[in-house]
Chains A and B, each alone.
Chain A
């Protein structure tokens, strides 16, 4: 056994030495479908750049985030290209941890990037990460059930209408819930949805002096509405449902409506996995007439850490992966429906894409309706629609998410949950030095 280990070790060492002659980029990515698809298409890149080898580290979202954050903050230098979201980019750019992307090539056409997405990835006028795919949130609903309930979904509904429709569409005997919403605790799970929704109710996380606002009536309205609606028209066990669980429910025909990421549209309209593929309609996320809609904005993007020795090759790769050429490549190999959405205006102007993706227009409208720099009705000192782009937010958001999840599960009253959220957030913000 000893000898075998030794031999195997030597063999792999030789293999690695063989690769070492070319420049090897280590790329950290999240295990979402579009990213995994890219790994299968990299021949196109390596053929054009024979001197660059690609090594992938694919991890699930939470593990990936903690891995790359630990590495970049301690200057571990393990990665050359990082997959990060709109939450990290402003924070990391401020720390000087990311290289500005100023050398993406002549035909990259930066101005083609959707303005909302681009602004989320820009700091001090410089682009710090290139969007690979972008998403907002919107309503997916069952046309047949809506008709049965005797209602018509407007393109831009209000929460009042959604509440009424959800209760009418609910049919407990047929195991159909009027509405499915996220309930699982986490800053990127229920808090993404609730923070975005609270914007529509005029709430905000912090006032201009970074004072938490959970003691204000706007948050109470938001959470009251959410908990009541989910009790009346939500599915069993909603407090452990995240994106995946709701996707499954919707695909099985157990939800009347579902408000979640726009990327879900391609899943629910795919007849291979979805039993309701031909019955899905789309509408903008609801508002309450205050001028903001509860739709978020997120873009998985590629950034380059400031410490890398291979900046030039890394930039070449980032440029390739987020280019128009890449979109064409995916379309050619896998069809237009599988093209990573939400990054470029030219994609939405493409008639072939519009034909393949019935949700294209609504996705674009949703993305355009989100403004990370002015997310709320009242002024705020932060950027981010469904998050607050400060380092402390992941921790605070998850704790508050746990409290709200407990309110949804009926283990805590809405008032208690809000009072504790206020207390926890004040504590953390005082520690962070925001509240003097």
Chain B
């Protein structure tokens, strides 16, 4: 019997304005029915191109070479009619449904029914029954068929995508970043559901993601792609446990195992970290450099009901420490950060800076914001695309009228953000920089004001795995060398383990647990912290050691 999917010497070339780009080279993969295969790699590695080529969904500019055998039949040579018949009935795709893979103006039931109507001759009442059955399989109430995508949460949309993929009972499911942009807890639910359904029905699964830990939890075999080639392939535990290729090691290090002493205060960075300076034992009773006391922010919804976003938070960020604020989306962590920065007026309580109340006058706020700087998640949109690096970094000092030579200040800030040699970056525009370099420019813009606290909202969430470690290393280095305090907002517990001194866990507007990283992540007391840790695809090292 032929394998379910076989890729022989697959190559994909895109014709672009500047000549040809080889996105995929010499890829050989085999998948037997019922097997699970994970393809890992960062953006641009060609992993999504491989997935899309299986159903010939690549843009017109792509040229495919080699063979793609689906149930023994070469997809590359199929006529359009045959190809359309094979699509979804032999192999279906689970896209990143949480984002835009569902049509926003059609009800999800309609979208699930569409391939059923197309590929089977089921009578209309039976189609509706089949949709209800599929929704039940993904643990959604059948009534959700009448919902529009925007009425569903990210996890629910992803479940709809899975239901849709199962609609025509295909032998193969290609899942392209199925859990990216989902919260850890929801991610765990979706992964469990998907692996369960696939195993139950003996469906072959190809899972594509940048997150190795997700693959390790769901796939028997893992292939790692780098620059269009497969650099390593083997059983999941082996690739994760004893990565042979350098790039696999970088990928694995980007998602550290919580509790693993090797990755504590050791983000994956190529530059060496300075040694830990001697730090005074902080006075637990004195307020931190930046402090919140019984802080409350309440929004009103359309019907005038009070919605507490931040409900009585006490938090201290001390000199010379990095605090990670952890919680899932909607927990109020971004509102808390905005309020600390004076961008959102608190409904109650107070924000203290260096022991005194943060001023509310615009002049006072301006001075305060020089001290407390914000770094945003997406460097691509945080930078004005028409401003050069020099202008982007010089803007802050100009607004605040900082003394000294402007060029000196900019160069110094770029140097601190490790953009070296700084002169070569001055005249460049954001689109000429990589994602990691852009985030460094954003950080340099903040450093140019010589702040004492950085508030970073998901600073690495939109960056590639190999760049993540570098940016985290930068934050840690700034703390060690300059004593720069930071409040890092994240949904990623591994990040906290990597660089933070203390962790504050936020749930429904309240801090349910605050303490040192070791204390909170290794011996969680609150149920919510435990559920976050349990949702980590890899579990924690302490769980490994206990043999769970």
A and B: bona fide binding partners? no
Point out residues on B near A: beta carbons under 8 Å: none
